[in-house]
Amino acid sequence: MAGETNAGALWGARFAHGPSEAMAALSRSTHFDWRLVPYDLAATRAHAAELHDKGFLSPDDFATVGGALEALSEEYESGSLVPADSDEDVHGALERILIERVGPALGGALRAGRSRNDQIATFVRLYMRDSAQALRSALLEVAQVLHQRASEVGDAVMPGRTHYQLAQPVLVGHYLMAHAWPLVRDVSRIDDFLVRNDVSPYGGGALAGGGVGLSPEAIGAALGFASVSPNSLDGTSSRDGVAEFLFIAAQIGVDLSRVAEDIIVLSSGEFGYLTLDDAFSTGSSMMPQKKNPDIAELARGKAGRLIGNLTGLLATLKALPLAYNRDLQEDKEPLFDSVDSLLLVLPAMSGLLETVTFNLDVMAAGSTAGFALATDVADSLVANGVPFREAHEVVGQLVSWCEQHGVDLPQVSDAELSALSPHLAPSVREVMSADASVARKSGRGGTAPARVAQQRDELKAELQRLSAG
């Protein structure tokens, strides 16, 4: 092999020997970068068009290359296009295959004016553009299911918690939509990312720019980019866009892990708020009675992996000198893994949420437990002119009295109330129900039924806007 380009690689002539087996094994990336074939073929087509435009390829040669690329594309789609063991990466493999089809002169001519460094930077952006759309649709689907379920439950109430302690009653629909809004923000994060991602690094060459006079603008436009990177060093060697994408993926994972945690806890026997559908739960190999929330647990577990993909890449990028370094090959596996993981988790979560049964009677029964109406009693004293600080103390004493006597707030008699404080008139009883409690939270964003209905309309409008966009 000495003295010529290694088969399936794009270099070799200045080397006395071919690569060692250990070197080739470490260097090889076809087992993961093969999914970039469609982008490589599209860019090679745009590149050939530009070579033709600038007089480097005759019309006949351009047509021959176009036909070969078309055939490769079809073979890739059918699964019959595969790399050889000797291929170093997707670029080397495709050049080798193209040379086999159209001959060394023509196949080899296509390398003029480009480098794997600007190619890979471009393909990763194209891959992220497509995957972002797939994630976006899957995310919107989960948010739509949450909206749908929030519409079905009407004005049903449930216990709300802070610090995992019973706090105040809230509407079940309010709770469900609290899990939808973060996903809506994730979609808008994706949209912001797509704007920054819409810059082509193609034409940056190895680092300094292409040297044969091809137009980066023409190729960038053919690949659907809005503009071209203003700096070839930056274009070929920055991966902050990949890190940003991985952050969004990690944030989606974290958001889903919070949904998952609620599902796991609230479907447990102790709570019984939720019953999982058989199609979206699993059994135990040993305990015949078990029905486990494995989907939610896997969703929660994947969040760790998604965070790891982000932090791993950031560690790789830290202090890398300009311009391209081979370390950058390490961007792809975490990127692909995050996309694959989310495209498994999101549809499973949609299905789980679509089919889970809400045990609204159990939730309603628990909605005022744990003195969850104490704040409403204090608020009602404020309405009667008592300063909140004093109202807080009076109700604190009332709760302490109830605890000592083993009773709940509505069970305290009028005489006992007035003995505790002259502010505790019998009329405070009017606020001692979950319905009265939620109705008082009538400001924007509150859990009052009218506000939750408004929120459903706003969420629906937002989901429609994002689905159209």
Q: How far is the CB of 194 from ligand ARG (least distance, A)?
A: 22
Which one among 17, 318, 326, 444 touches ligand ARG, defined by CB under 6 A? 326
From the list 178, 172, 147, the residue with the least C-alpha distance to 434 is 172
Among 73, 148, 275, 329, binds ligand ARG (CB under 6 A): 329
Phi-psi sector, 319: left (phi>0), alpha (psi -120 to 50), beta: left
Pick the stretch among 214-222, 226-234, 251-259, 326-334 that binds ligand ARG (CB under 6 A).
326-334
The CA-atom distances, in angstroms, between 277 and each of 145, 253, 282, 349, 356 are: 15, 23, 10, 12, 6
179 catalytic residue (yes or no)? no
| CA 251 remoteness from chain centre | 6
- Site size toward ligand ARG (CB under 6 A) is 10
14 lies in the site for ligand ARG, by CB under 6 A: no
Query: Of 268, 284, 400, 427, which is the active-site residue?
Result: 284
Provide the 10 A C-beta neighbour count for residue 434. 24
- Which residue stretch of 221-229, 304-312, 321-329, 384-392 sits at the interface with ligand ARG (rule: CB under 6 A)? 321-329
Q: Could you say whether residue 328 binds ligand ARG (CB under 6 A)?
A: yes
**Shortest spacing between CB 5 and ligand ARG, in angstroms:** 13
Q: Tell me whether residue 233 or residue 382 sits nearer to ligand ARG (CB atom).
A: 233
Distance CA 431, CA 380 (A): 7
Closer residue to ligand ARG (CB): 302 or 332: 332
The Cα 61–Cα 66 span in angstroms is 8
Cβ proximity of 45 and 69 under 8 Å: yes
Considering only residues 347 to 366 of the shown chain, the ones binding ligand ARG according to CB under 6 A are none
Please report, for residues 152, 168, 275, the alpha-carbon distance to residue 354 in angstroms, rounded to integers and kept in the order given.
11, 26, 12
What the block records as the tokens of 19 is: 């690569």
Residues 82-111 that bind ligand ARG (CB under 6 A): 89
Any residues with CB less than 8 A from the CB of 247 and at least 6 apart, and which?
310
117 touches ligand ARG by CB under 6 A = yes
Interface region with ligand ARG, contact rule CB under 6 A, candidates 207-215, 221-229, 230-238, 323-331: 323-331
Question: Cβ closer to ligand ARG: 120 or 409?
Answer: 120
Q: How far is CA 387 from CA 49, 276, 339, 390, 391, in A?
A: 78, 46, 54, 5, 6
Q: Least distance from C-beta 20 to ligand ARG, angstroms?
A: 16
| Angstrom distances, CA of residue 21 to CA of 26, 28, 91 | 9, 10, 20
Binding segment toward ligand ARG, per CB under 6 A, in 129-137, 263-271, 320-328, 389-397: 320-328
Beta bridge partners of 227: 199
Please provide residue 358's backbone torsions phi and psi, each rounded to the nearest 5 degrees.
Answer: -95, 120
Residue 25 C-beta: closest distance to ligand ARG, Å: 14
Distance in Å, CB of 14 to ligand ARG, minimum: 14
How many whole angstroms separate alpha carbon 341 and alpha carbon 337? 6
Query: What amino acid occupies position 468?
Result: A
Residue with tokens 């929120």: 455
Q: Assess 116 for contact with ligand ARG (CB under 6 A).
A: yes
Residue 284 known to be catalytic: yes
Helical (H) or strand (E) element with 143: helix 116-152
Query: Which residues, numbered 118-157, are part of the site for ligand ARG (CB under 6 A)?
Result: 120
Beta-strand relationship, 165-171 and 157-162: antiparallel
Least separation, in Å, of the C-beta of 114 and ligand ARG? Answer: 12
Q: Of residues 17, 78, 163, 285, which has the active-site annotation?
A: 163
What character string, x for contact with ligand ARG (CB under 6 A) and - otherwise, covers 15-34? --------------x-----
Q: How far is the CB of 102 from ligand ARG (least distance, A)?
A: 23
Closer of 6 and 117 to ligand ARG (Cβ): 117
Considering the rule CB under 6 A, would residue 186 count as an interface residue with ligand ARG? no
Residue whose entry in the numeric block shows the structure tokens 């628990």? 366
Instruction: Catalog residues that contact ligand ARG under the rule CB under 6 A.
Output: 29, 89, 116-117, 120, 324, 326, 328-329, 332
Q: What are the residue numbers of the active site?
A: 163, 284
